[in-house]
Amino acid sequence: MTKRLLLTSFDTWLDDQQSNSSDDLLLKVTQLDLLPFDLKFLRLLPVDVQLASSLVIQKIDEWQPDYIICCGMAAKRTQLSVEANASCQDSVLQTTVDLEQLVLGVSAVEISHDCGKFVCEGLYYSVLNYLHQNQLTARCIFVHVPVLTSENLRGILADFVLIIHKLALS
């Protein structure tokens, strides 16, 4: 049975931003024809926790993915970061994905415990909470994407595709 994956990205939030690297990366993934999975994309989410969360949850209900990969931009980072957890006030939720195993053998990906206190963490927490509260078997990770350049694009895209493969085969 083909694994179903939902991949999300955000829109820009500053006037001077040409694009959001999370969406740039997903656009590149849409152009690849080598992934043997059923990929669904929810791109250019509004930079608003409630709106973005409700759109993603609606698609989770509609598409019933096996895995959800939420992506966000992290302009100050230099490599992909997979977030271990998200918090809301005093509550902290962990992903159920074995991140150590997921990043094993991937060249330049780090496990992060700092989702950023912005819309990224809000969305990640909302999705993790929704999956937990509704006892859904879908598993979710959040990947922060650095600014993409001609120098780093090929490596970051290769690492991201490897994460997709490893997640879907876990």
Give me the domains of the chain, ranges plus CATH numbers. 4-168 (3.40.630.20)
**pLDDT of 33 strictly over 90:** no
pTM: 0.95
- Tens of pLDDT, residue by residue over 127-162, are 999 999 999 999 999 999 999 999 999 999 999 999
Q: What average pLDDT does the segment 35-48 reach?
A: 90
Contacts of 18-25 with CB under 8 Å at 24 or more apart are 20/44, 20/73, 21/73, 21/75, 21/145, 21/146, 21/147, 21/148, 22/71, 22/72, 22/73, 22/143, 22/144, 22/145, 23/71, 24/145, 24/148, 25/71, 25/145, 25/148, 25/156, 25/157, 25/160
